[in-house]
Amino acid sequence: MNKPLLILVSGGSASGKSTVVQEILERAGLNDVLIIKHDDYYLDQTHLPLEERYKMNYDHPSSLDNELLYHHLTKLLKGEAIDKPIYDFDIYTRKEETEVIQPKPIIIIEGILILENEKIRNLADICLFVELDDDTRFIRRMLRDMKERGRSLESIIAQYEQTVKPMFHKYIKPTKRYADVIIPNDRKHDIAVDLIVTKIKQILGERL
């Protein structure tokens, strides 16, 4: 197996990262792709009571186990399998079980803070940042957290005001400078997607 192509995709919470990734894969006609969520690498907090887990700042770089992710990525890029942790948003910590992940020709890591870590950035072939205005992201996040994660409106607003918004401007938005392409998700982005697709095909062609 040739060295996999590693793509990092960042952007604010609910900016549409997963949607843009699917658009790129469909446009490029790519199927054999491994997509990993940076969220699964939130630190294990089973040693803390649930009420303490609620209070953690999940939008700060220190909330993520980037050393483990870096170790796993180096293994995947060598063609080795990993035991990936699984994060449970209902209990605010990892599940006891892990998931065996095999490497694939294209590996995509999605996460709001994935471009913040220099060691992980240095492994990547392509770095992307998906951009969307704050109000639209908040509405999307609110609907998602209420529907998929069972959160109350009050808790969503409190978390957004206390950590999500300030951490976005302090840690996430500045990582745009590390992106090879910034994708505007509030209007048509066909040109950006086409550029990325062309680059993916070029790199894959060179590794044949």
Q: Residue 104, class by beta-carbon neighbours within 10 Å (0-12 exposed, 13-18 middle, 19+ buried)?
A: middle
* CA nearest to 155, candidates 64, 56, 54, 59: 54
Report the pLDDT averaged over residues 153-159. Answer: 91
Indicate the pLDDT class of residue 186, thresholds 50, 70 and 90.
confident
Could you tell me whether strands 33-37 and 181-184 are parallel, antiparallel, or unpaired per DSSP bridges? unpaired
Report the pLDDT averaged over residues 3-25. Answer: 94
Eight-class DSSP state of 114? T
Q: Residue 80, class by beta-carbon neighbours within 10 Å (0-12 exposed, 13-18 middle, 19+ buried)?
A: exposed
- Map tokens 């948003």 to a residue: 89
As given in the structure block, the two tokens for residue 81 are 């399998």
Q: What is the pLDDT of residue 57?
A: 93
Task: Say what the pTM is.
Answer: 0.92
Domain residue ranges in the chain: 5-206
pLDDT exceeds 90 at position 150? no
* CA nearest to 28, candidates 12, 11, 5: 5
How far is the C-alpha of 164 from the C-alpha of 131, rounded, in Å? 15
Q: What is the pLDDT of residue 188?
A: 76
Report the pLDDT averaged over residues 5-24. Answer: 94
Tell me the per-residue pLDDT of 48-88, one tens digit each, with 9 for 90 and over: 999 899 888 999 999 999 999 999 999 999 999 999 999 99
Eight-class DSSP state of 42? B
Report the pLDDT averaged over residues 30-57. Answer: 93
Residues 6+ apart with CB under 8 A from 162: none
> Other CB atoms closer than 10 Å to residue 4's CB: what's the count?
21
Beta strands per DSSP E along the chain: 5-11, 33-37, 82-88, 93-101, 106-110, 126-131, 181-184
Strand partners, 64: 42
Indicate the pLDDT class of residue 94, thresholds 50, 70 and 90.
very high
Q: Which CATH number fits domain 5-206: 3.30.160.60, 3.40.605.10, 3.40.50.300, 3.30.360.10?
A: 3.40.50.300
Indicate the pLDDT class of residue 143, thresholds 50, 70 and 90.
very high
Indicate the pLDDT class of residue 149, thresholds 50, 70 and 90.
confident
How far is the C-alpha of 58 from the C-alpha of 40, rounded, in Å? 12
